[in-house]
Structure 1
Amino acid sequence: MYKDYKLDRFQREALQAVRAGDHVLVSAPTGCGKTLIAEYAIEQALERGERIIYTAPIKALSNQKFRDFGAMYGAKVGIMTGDVTINPGAQALIMTTEIFRNTIFDDPSRLADVRYVIHDEVHYLDDPDRGTVWEESIIFSPPEIRFIGLSATISNLDQLAGWIREIRPGRLRVVRENRRPVPLHLQIWNGERAYDIAQLKGNHVPLPRSERKGRGRRGRRGTESDGADETRALRRRRRRRRGEPAVVAQMRSLIDHIVERKHLPAIVFVFSRAYVEKYARRCRRLDLLDEQERARIREHWRSLALEFELDETEPRTAALRDLLLRGIAYHHAGMLPTLKEVVERLFTSGLIKLLFATETFALGVNMPARAVAFETLKKFDGIKRDWMRSR
């Protein structure tokens, strides 16, 4: 037992390794309770008078962990990100991985009394742009530091463990858990309805009715096909003249589908900052809160506006407030840090029912969502648009 929780097998193994002072590499599905391992390591460090660092790949995750651990351990917790620095000399310090790596090279004496470094989302090692930051953090850290690596998506766990054993002194414990406690139901939206992936035949998604018009049995040859091609070309020209209304219309029909089936709260990932805000504004016709929830969000907003000294007359701030009062919000890296913090806190409280976000909100952030949707399964990887792949 730990904090009145009955531990799973993989949690017991990981906690034993932390007590023994070993490196720990944990691979377990989302929702299994990996954060409990980090909490235990922090608690042990605080009791022993040692320092511990928790790193995360994105600021949203760092901010959430600072709030969570700060609520548990108070002034013993600090944070350092590109946006904010609070209590940098704290015993337990939350930071982005880049700041930890920079500390190793710029001022390694600040790490003299650090016992453990927790790398959340350690699979970022294979990121083509930022993976070297994780590599350098592990390679160049002082030899007395031990690492805890947490991930839900490490495919080559043994290979990674072998590499760490080669470059770091000390024992390494590998901990695996394959059971997923939260089942996933995967569907594809074709613009009109959702199809269970398991039920699709031949890996083809049926076209919506609007795209089937003009297609007969001879649709691939003869005049019928020519007529269909002309119709589709005309439709594409109309869409371009209207500023891609078909894309927006499909998103609105998807949101209607999610709302009708009461699959809220929901997160919709959109890989464009401009469209994140556009989709949120297009949904302002929806009112997803009851009066009690609206009163609570007004109260939270007033409190956070005072805390962060928000200028409510500023157009973007006012527009976000108006959406929040309908249970809708957006989140992306181009927002003011204070507004991102407001959205993160309100979503955690369950008062935001529909959130449009870029991938800055995706990694490891513990947010209460019943449904998650992707606008597209292709994403620009810095060189070209390519299909997203599961790990």
Structure 2
Amino acid sequence: MSLVDRLPEEIDADPDTIFDAFVAWNSERGLTLYPAQEEALIEVVSGNNLILATPTGSGKSLVAAGAHFTALTRDVRTFYTAPIKALVSEKFFDLCALFGTENVGMMTGDASVNPGAPIICCTAEILANVALRDGAQADIGQVVMDEFHFYAEPDRGWAWQVPLLELPHVQFILMSATLGDVSMFEEDLTRRTGRSTAVVKNAERPVPLVYSYRLTPLHETLEEMLATGQAPVYVVHFTQASAMERAQALMSINMCSKAEKEAIAALIGNFRFTTRFGRALSRLVRHGIGVHHAGMLPKYRRLVERLAQAGLLKVICGTDTLGVGVNVPIRTVLFTALSKYDGTKVRRLRAREFHQIAGRAGRAGFDTIGYVVCQAPDHVIENEKALAKIGDDPKKRRGYARKKPPEGFVGWSEETFEKLQQAEPEPLGSRFKVTNAMLLAVINRPGDCFAAMKHLLTDNHEDRKWQRRHISQAIAIYRSLLAGGVVEQLAEPDEQGRRARLTVDLQEDFALNQALSTFALAALDLLDTESPTYALEAVSVIESILDDPRQILSAQLNKARGEAVAQMKADGIEYEERMELLAEVAYPMPLADELLGAYETYRRGHPWVGDYTVSPKSVVRDMYERAMTFAEYVQYYDLSRSEGTVLRYLADAYRTLSRTIPEHLKTEDLVDLIEWLGELVRQVDSSLIDEWEKLANPDPEREAEEEIETRPRPVTANPRAFRVLVRNAMFRLIELIALEREEELAELAPDVDWPAALDAYYDEHEEVGTGPDARGPALLRIEEEKELWRVRQVVADPAGDGDWGIDAQVDLAASDEEGRAVIHVTGLNRL
């Protein structure tokens, strides 16, 4: 029987009936509630607010399910919020399985599925914008906020606070394993909602933790853990690079038996390791070592998680991102350090950070105990090892020159470790902020917007000093809205009680989706669709409204500076002048002047976009113009540790290009480019696009039969995209010929005598054209046959003769197998 079938028929069912129905359903599944779960659910069915601050693994998700069940019995809408889209999506499918697809919807900004459902999964920002738009009139009766410690995040904390301020009629369930002192929230929620607020904390951890501090080298520590049954071990690092380096260094340890390695190989099966990082990961996982961090392709992370769930990985080297919603079952958490670089400085871990990671140790239902281990700093371990060799001779010990920590090192000790174990997570600090979008949302809702803003600005969780700053900022924004003619103040309230109103129509849910999409539409109208570069310029407009992929832009900048320095040295420019000129080098930003100018003009009439900044950049366009595959692009910019970041950006760009650009502005060239991009993303890792498309038709049974890697459709099944892949592969050869890169040409086409072919061509022509016309479809001739295509890429010579070309064959079966255009070049020939 499903959970929906257990719903009492009466909407006004008493708390005992609701509680008993939910407990009975769990009993049917063989589950007995922990005392803390029972206590929490009693408070929820009684209509009280709940702050659930129990350890990781103590069953908060079950309490959340009970809360949604309670809301359904009372016919009120319930919202579940989480900090990241991946968690929201995961919870959406979980709740579909519990309550049926007709009862569950999702809103993330990227996707909206069944938004009128009684249960909604969304990011905190979505709920905050609904609360600002509708206020106390919002159709929400209950809110479950998971990972509530994000309330203290500097950039995003406002979104966790606004619903508490603006939804006084709602029952709140706030959940996290690391909340610290919550007395302020307990009092505040009771005052605002008129409901009692219960705090459930200090629950006994289902799997107790044992802590130890180690003075042995890491590989010795791990060997001991493997021998004493403490695996799987998650080795925590604070950079992606160090996680990968550590994993490779551990290859000397014999992790698995022959039978275990055979089991790993069997589970991996025909999984495709298609990138340089993937090939390195393949060697590691077959040895029993996993790597896990946010820069990996999603399919690689899923593979590591699945192998770990099967108990086949003994050690996983990863980053501290494990703390939020990652499904990796582990017995031991091993900290390699208790300090980290936070983007500004190196500092020791805060208690909340420590407990968030340490709490992942020990799996309820699998382990009876979990282990949390901390390594001493490397120089301390070396000193201890050297002193142990010296022995007890006081004279020799005094004469030993102790190894010092590296410069700038922020150290830790066993005392640091013990203090973190005992320390309560720090109290959550308010991160309220005022934006254009906030004012517009409040002004646009019925009622007195001045009273509503006064409440929002003076009754938030900030101290008086910061409240005064927010009030000044709000006044400044309001005056700019008035001056821009976007808002008009009314002499008398209108029929809906408004004392001010907007003079422009906001699109539905304007703050819930891509914030600058309306600017992009306006900018696209400025482009000439007849221009040969229109498709690339349209891509540049769309890329300018996407979030900056920091790692990619940094890599582009490093590449540009390296090339600039090499050229300046070749030109004989002195060092001081080189340094001055180097400061002017930037990563590629096509249409920067035009886009920034258009943005300033657009912002005057649409001030809400002032909360966001247009950011010209070139990743999709750069890859397309260089005619590179995903693997070539990652290698060119040395982004192997950030493959996942590259792919997520490309997937976001594909989705935005697909749904933001109106059909009448999509030329043939632009459609070709969009199809190429979608197929490129799908062939590298289909999960990002598949999940997006699957949301329209959710299948709650998918988890049971989901494969580690869903094989993408054959690349040749999309003829339009495949033609572009072939065209790009051929044009890549043209670019290398233009640059006379004989070594790279030999790697791509080893059967061709490139020095002789290039000499023959350049005897007749001075250069090779690489402009828009040179890469167009008109210069690519294709003879399509069943198993292969014969192609000739005509070289755009300066005389316009078109008498030279690259001849090649496209192997269709191999292309489907590898997910790219597999081309065998036969020569650079003159007709």
TM over 0.5: yes
Structure 1 pair 50–167 and aligned structure 2 pair: CA distance change class (3 A) = closer
Where structure 2 has 5 or more consecutive residues not aligned to the other structure, the ranges are 1-22, 352-424, 426-831
Which of 170, 176, 179 is matched with 1:145 structurally?
Answer: 170
- Farther-moved stretch of structure 1 (20-29 vs 343-352): 343-352
> What residue in structure 2 maps to residue 258 of structure 1?
225
Q: Secondary structure at the match of 1:186?
A: strand
Structure 1 pair 280–92 and aligned structure 2 pair: CA distance change class (3 A) = farther
Structure 1 pair 45–386 and aligned structure 2 pair: CA distance change class (3 A) = same
Q: Distance in 1 between the 2:276 and 2:321 partners?
A: 23
Tell me by how many angstroms 1:80 deviates. 5.5
> What residue in structure 2 maps to residue 187 of structure 1?
212
Q: Distance in 2 between the 1:357 and 1:97 partners?
A: 27
Structure 1 pair 364–314 and aligned structure 2 pair: CA distance change class (3 A) = closer
> What residue in structure 2 maps to residue 101 of structure 1?
128
Tell me by how many angstroms 1:59 deviates. 5.5
* Mapped pair 1:336 → 2:297: yes
Deviations 1:270-295 (A, max 9, x none): 11011122212222344544566556
Q: Distance in 1 between the 2:192 and 2:287 partners?
A: 53
> What residue in structure 1 maps to residue 246 of structure 2?
279
* Mapped pair 1:133 → 2:159: yes
Does the CA-based 8 Å contact 1:286-1:326 persist in structure 2? no
Q: Distance in 2 between the 1:100 and 1:287 partners?
A: 50
Q: Distance in 2 between the 1:348 and 1:184 partners?
A: 20
Tell me by how many angstroms 1:327 deviates. 2.8
Q: Distance in 1 between the 2:122 and 2:238 partners?
A: 25
Matches within 5 A, 1:262-341: 262-286=229-253, 288-290=255-257, 294=261, 297-298=264-265, 300-301=267-268, 312-341=273-302
* Mapped pair 1:384 → 2:345: yes
Q: Distance in 1 between the 2:106 and 2:264 partners?
A: 26
Tell me by how many angstroms 1:139 deviates. 2.3
Does the CA-based 8 Å contact 1:60-1:344 persist in structure 2? no
Tell me by how many angstroms 1:19 deviates. 1.6
Q: Secondary structure at the match of 2:57?
A: coil
Q: Distance in 1 between the 2:282 and 2:94 partners?
A: 25
Tell me by how many angstroms 1:93 deviates. 4.0
> What residue in structure 1 maps to residue 558 of structure 2?
none
Q: Distance in 1 between the 2:319 and 2:106 partners?
A: 23
Matches within 5 A, 1:159-170: 159-170=184-195
Does the CA-based 8 Å contact 2:231-2:315 persist in structure 1? yes
- Farther-moved stretch of structure 1 (173-182 vs 116-125): 173-182
Identity of aligned residues (%): 33
Structure 2 residue identity aligned to 1:148 = I
Q: Distance in 2 between the 1:345 and 1:95 partners?
A: 26
Tell me by how many angstroms 1:85 deviates. 4.4
Does the CA-based 8 Å contact 1:329-1:355 persist in structure 2? yes
Structure 2 residue identity aligned to 1:11 = Q
Q: Distance in 2 between the 1:48 and 1:302 partners?
A: 49
* Mapped pair 1:119 → 2:174: no
Q: Secondary structure at the match of 1:257?
A: helix
Larger Rg: 2
> What residue in structure 2 maps to residue 171 of structure 1?
196
Does the CA-based 8 Å contact 1:27-1:152 persist in structure 2? yes
Structure 1 residue identity aligned to 2:294 = A
Q: Secondary structure at the match of 1:35?
A: helix
> What residue in structure 1 maps to residue 67 of structure 2?
41
Matches within 5 A, 1:339-378: 339-363=300-324, 365=326, 367-378=328-339
Q: Distance in 1 between the 2:93 and 2:265 partners?
A: 21
Q: Distance in 2 between the 1:342 and 1:70 partners?
A: 24
Q: Distance in 2 between the 1:321 and 1:74 partners?
A: 38
> What residue in structure 2 maps to residue 196 of structure 1?
none
- What TM-score comes out, normalization by structure 1 length? 0.69
Tell me by how many angstroms 1:259 deviates. 2.0
Does the CA-based 8 Å contact 1:32-1:181 persist in structure 2? yes
Matches within 5 A, 1:197-216: none
Q: Distance in 2 between the 1:72 and 1:351 partners?
A: 30
Tell me by how many angstroms 1:343 deviates. 3.3
Structure 1 pair 321–301 and aligned structure 2 pair: CA distance change class (3 A) = same
> What residue in structure 2 maps to residue 231 of structure 1?
none
Structure 1 pair 72–325 and aligned structure 2 pair: CA distance change class (3 A) = farther
Does the CA-based 8 Å contact 1:121-1:364 persist in structure 2? no
Q: Distance in 1 between the 2:349 and 2:124 partners?
A: 24
> What residue in structure 2 maps to residue 23 of structure 1?
49
Does the CA-based 8 Å contact 1:267-1:372 persist in structure 2? yes
Tell me by how many angstroms 1:8 deviates. 3.7
Q: Distance in 1 between the 2:259 and 2:113 partners?
A: 36
Q: Distance in 1 between the 2:288 and 2:106 partners?
A: 29
* Structure (1/2) with the larger strand percentage: 1
Structure 2 residue identity aligned to 1:267 = Y
- What TM-score comes out, normalization by structure 2 length? 0.35
> What residue in structure 2 maps to residue 219 of structure 1?
none
Deviations 1:46-97 (A, max 9, x none): 5566543322334665465456445544535555558x74846355444443
Structure 1 pair 163–266 and aligned structure 2 pair: CA distance change class (3 A) = same
Structure 2 residue identity aligned to 1:42 = H
Deviations 1:165-216 (A, max 9, x none): 34445332222334333222111122x1xxxxxxxxxxxxxxxxxxxxxxxx
Tell me by how many angstroms 1:147 deviates. 1.6
Q: Higher relative contact order by CA 8 Å / sep ≥ 6: 1 or 2?
A: 1
Which of 158, 166, 169 is matched with 2:183 structurally?
Answer: 158
Does the CA-based 8 Å contact 1:139-1:168 persist in structure 2? no
The CA RMSD over aligned residues, in Å, is 3.4
Structure 1 pair 96–187 and aligned structure 2 pair: CA distance change class (3 A) = farther
Tell me by how many angstroms 1:299 deviates. 5.5
Structure 2 residue identity aligned to 1:165 = T
Matches within 5 A, 1:222-261: 250-261=217-228
> What residue in structure 2 maps to residue 201 of structure 1?
none
Q: Distance in 1 between the 2:205 and 2:91 partners?
A: 23
* Structure (1/2) with the larger helix percentage: 2
Q: Distance in 1 between the 2:262 and 2:192 partners?
A: 55
Across the two proteins, how many residue pairs are aligned to each other? 323
Tell me by how many angstroms 1:296 deviates. 5.3
Structure 1 residue identity aligned to 2:65 = E
> What residue in structure 1 maps to residue 419 of structure 2?
none
Q: Secondary structure at the match of 2:210?
A: coil
Deviations 1:308-354 (A, max 9, x none): xxx53222233333323333222222223343344344434433332
Structure 1 pair 289–256 and aligned structure 2 pair: CA distance change class (3 A) = closer
Does the CA-based 8 Å contact 1:58-1:360 persist in structure 2? no
Does the CA-based 8 Å contact 2:235-2:336 persist in structure 1? yes
- Farther-moved stretch of structure 1 (145-154 vs 363-372): 363-372
Does the CA-based 8 Å contact 2:170-2:193 persist in structure 1? no
Structure 2 residue identity aligned to 1:180 = R
Does the CA-based 8 Å contact 1:60-1:361 persist in structure 2? no
Q: Distance in 2 between the 1:342 and 1:113 partners?
A: 41
Does the CA-based 8 Å contact 2:305-2:327 persist in structure 1? no
